[in-house]
Structure 1
C-alpha cells in the first residue's frame, strides 16, 4: 500500500483522495462488478492502465478510517 489515508467501506479498503465536511472521496481498482454493486463510478481519466472507480461516501457510512505512514530507520535515525 501507498502512504495516505484509507477508508474501509462495506469491507472494501479504498484510498481517500479528498475529504470535505462529512464526506470522503475514495478510489479503488476492484472489478467492475464489485464497483457497480457498491455504487462506484468509473474514472473518466483515459490514460490510466486500469479502470479506477471513485465515490463520495458520508463519514457515517465508513467502517474504519486510518492513516498509513511508512518510515525507515538507519543507525538510529528515522527517515520519513
Structure 2
C-alpha cells in the first residue's frame, strides 16, 4: 500500500462510515479498514434496521440469530437498566 490518505477510518459501523463520508465530502482522501468477515460487517448496524427484532435464524432480511436473551441484554445495556 504505497498510497497516502488524509483520513484512516478503522471499522465499518455507523459512526465510522459517517466519519468517512463526512471526511470525503470535506475533500479528504479516505481509507476505510474493516476486519470483520462479510456477514458481520457494519458493526451493530446489522441489529438496528430502524428497530431491534429478536429472531431465531437468518432470513432474506434479517441476519441471525438475534435471540430474545441477547435482545434484552442489549436493551438493558443501552438503557442502563
TM-score (ref. length: structure 1): 0.23
Pick the structure with more helix per residue: 2
Pick the structure with more strand per residue: 1
TM-score (ref. length: structure 2): 0.23
Q: Report which structure shows greater RCO (CA 8 Å, sep ≥6).
A: 1
